[in-house]
Amino acid sequence: MARAALRILDELGLPDLTMRRLAADLGVQPSALYWHYPNKQTLLAELADRIVHRGAAEQSTAGWDERVRQEALALRGALLAYRDSAEIVSSSLALGLGENPAHRRLRGAFEGGPFDPATVASAAATMLHFVLGHVSLEQQRSHYDRLGALEGRTVPLEASEGDFLFGVDTIIAGLRQRAASAAEALGG
């Protein structure tokens, strides 16, 4: 069922992923879907978890900063693999649905650094918000490009992988500086 929903999502986009369309695709009555998912948002939360689980970074012995960078890149890749996925993951997070594997993975990468638990949680949330926002912009641009809405227009804000990495590296550098300042305050 979730695989069929992901296929519809990728082919047609989120607005056309309806319970009725999914049921027709599966050859069942729409009411049959509600045995598995009480509503569409629950289905979308399942899809969000599947999308994010798809792209976990490989286990690494690198430092915390490189592990965070690898997780951010892996998450971006997983999100870009499916149309409208940033919107689906964002809405599931906003509603507190699903397992939230993206935050958990980022938190795990930050835990190897010189941070207290509150900073780890905030740093992971900050990176997750950046990744979701950037991918959302990339996906919207792609959608508008498919529609021909951007043809011949210069768009002032880039949404490239280079800009993504600049943002990730800037967040990491800020956290590195924060850790150094905290260590200095404790030592002196």
Digit-coded pLDDT (tens) for 85-99? 999 999 999 999 988
pTM for this model (two decimals)? 0.87
One DSSP character per residue, 164-181 reads HHHHHHHHHHHHHHHHHH
Average pLDDT of the chain, as a whole number: 89
Tell me the C-alpha to C-alpha distance, in Å, between residue 172 and each of 32, 125, 176: 47, 13, 6
Digit-coded pLDDT (tens) for 11-47? 998 999 999 999 999 999 989 999 899 999 999 999 9
Other CB atoms closer than 10 Å to residue 188's CB: what's the count? 5
Residue 142 pLDDT greater than 80, yes or no: no
Domain containing residue 26: 2-187
Asked if 179 and 114 touch (Cβ cutoff 8 Å), the reply is yes
Q: What's the pLDDT at 8?
A: 95
Q: What's the pLDDT at 158?
A: 65
Asked if 113 and 104 touch (Cβ cutoff 8 Å), the reply is no
Q: What's the pLDDT at 155?
A: 56
Q: What's the pLDDT at 105?
A: 92
**Count of domains in the chain?**
1
Q: What's the pLDDT at 56?
A: 72
Residue 121 pLDDT greater than 90, yes or no: yes
Confidence band for 156, pLDDT divided at 50, 70 and 90: low
Q: What's the pLDDT at 92?
A: 93
CATH number assigned to the domain comprising residue 165: 1.10.357.10
